[in-house]
Amino acid sequence: MKNDPRQLNSLALAYIGDAIYEVYVRTYLIEEGQVKPQQLHNHAVHYVAASAQASILHHWLRADVLTEEEIAVVKRGRNAKSKSKAKNMSVSDYRHATAFEALIGFHYLMGHKERLNILQNTAISWINEQKEKPE
């Protein structure tokens, strides 16, 4: 890779992280037996929505899951200045979702496959736990 992922713009990390996490979620859903396109989309939204990503990131921060380097990536991602506006979500959720995606993108571009899989697996598990909780 030409550019060191540690030096890349956080929004570039989030851009690739969004795509990587989306593919991971879609693969997970298909492996779980979801095959109808509309079902796939409806289920995927639970995992990839900004509010879900923000929830995952808050969980990781509370549970002390992230390393110091990962926290630095998250802070850069959260503080990144984007020209796009948060649509149908709070600015806080939008920024935390961007930070989540930046962290996924960082690990992908660094080639940290094992850590990337661990984080994505814990993200899926966290959302599944939240869906099962009574409201």
pLDDT in tens, 70-110: 999 999 999 887 766 667 778 888 899 999 999 999 999 99
User: Which of the four pLDDT bands, split at 50, 70 and 90, describes residue 129?
Assistant: very high
**How sure is the predictor about 54, in pLDDT bands with cuts at 50, 70 and 90?**
very high
The CATH H-level (homologous superfamily) assignment of domain 10-126 is Ribonuclease III domain (1.10.1520.10)
Exposed/middle/buried for residue 86 (C-beta within 10 Å: 0-12, 13-18, 19+): middle
Residue 124's pLDDT is what? 97
- Cα-to-chain-centroid distance, residue 110: 16
Evaluate if pTM is beyond 0.85.
Answer: yes
Q: Which residues are catalytic?
A: 18
